Amino acid sequence: MKAFITIVCLFGAVFGYQSDYVSLEGLESLYSLDNTTYVTWQDAASQCREDGAHLLIIDSQDELDAVIQLRYSKGVDKFLSWAGFHDLFVEGQYITVQDEPIAYNTWYTGYPFESDEVNCGGVLSLNDATGIVIYTCSALRTFICEKSAS
Ligand SMILES: [Ca+2]
Ligand SMILES: [Ca+2]
C-alpha cells in the first residue's frame, strides 16, 4: 500500500495534477503557476494543454503586471516563467502557441536577440524591470497556464 501511494504521488508530481487556477483582478482568464514544478518549455506547453489551457499569452500590460504579481506572490521571481510564444519555426518571428503573431511585445531590456538556440518565450521580472524574454527551450523553469473562465 505504501509503495502504491508513493507511485501515485510521484505520478502526480511529474504530471502536475495539482494545478490550481485563480482569477486575477481585472482579467477574464484564469491562471495557474505551480512554484514547485520546473520543466522545459515543451513540457510546460503539454501540461497546460492537459489542463484544457494554454501557456500564458500576454495581451496587455495589465495582464503582464498581474502575472508578475502572481510570480512575486509565489516566490518564483528570480528566474523567468515560461509563456506561450516562440520563434521555433522562423528565427526572429515570434508567434503564440496558437500560431498567431504576438500582440503584446514589450521586451525585457536586452531582448530579443537573434539565436537559433534561444527560441522559447517567457516573462521576467527582476530589479524592478519587467517584460517578455526569449530563452533556451530545454531550461527547467516555472510556467504559467491560462484558460478561459467560462
Ligand atoms: Ca491572455
Ligand atoms: Ca531564436
pLDDT digits (tens, 9 = 90+) for 16-40: 444 799 999 999 999 999 999 999 9
Let me know if residue 6 belongs to a domain: no
> Could you tell me the distance, in angstroms and rounded to a whole number, from the CA of residue 135 to the centre of ligand 2?
8
> What pLDDT is attached to residue 150?
78
> Could you tell me the distance, in angstroms and rounded to a whole number, from the CA of residue 148 to the centre of ligand 2?
29
Predicted TM-score (pTM) of this structure: 0.86
- Mean pLDDT across the chain: 89
Taking only the tens place, the pLDDT of each residue in 47-59 is 999 999 999 999 9
Let me know if residue 9 belongs to a domain: no
Let me know if residue 30 belongs to a domain: yes
Q: Give the mean pLDDT of 54-80.
A: 95
Let me know if residue 2 belongs to a domain: no
> What pLDDT is attached to residue 8?
42
Let me know if residue 5 belongs to a domain: no
Let me know if residue 4 belongs to a domain: no
Ligand nearest to the backbone CA of 112 = 2
Bigger pLDDT: 98 or 5?
98
CATH number, position 135: 3.10.100.10
Burial of 31 (0-12, 13-18, 19+ CB in 10 A): buried
Let me know if residue 3 belongs to a domain: no
User: How many separate domains does the chain show?
Assistant: 1
CB atoms within 10 A of CB 78: 9
Q: State in Å, rounded, how far the first CA of the chain is from the last one.
A: 39
Name the residue range of residue 83's domain. Answer: 20-148
Taking only the tens place, the pLDDT of each residue in 9-19 is 444 444 544 47
Taking only the tens place, the pLDDT of each residue in 74-111 is 999 899 999 999 999 999 999 999 999 998 989 999 99
> What pLDDT is attached to residue 3?
52
Residue 71 has pLDDT above 60, yes or no: yes
> Could you tell me the distance, in angstroms and rounded to a whole number, from the CA of residue 59 to the centre of ligand 2?
21
Let me know if residue 127 belongs to a domain: yes
> Could you tell me the distance, in angstroms and rounded to a whole number, from the CA of residue 120 to the centre of ligand 2?
7
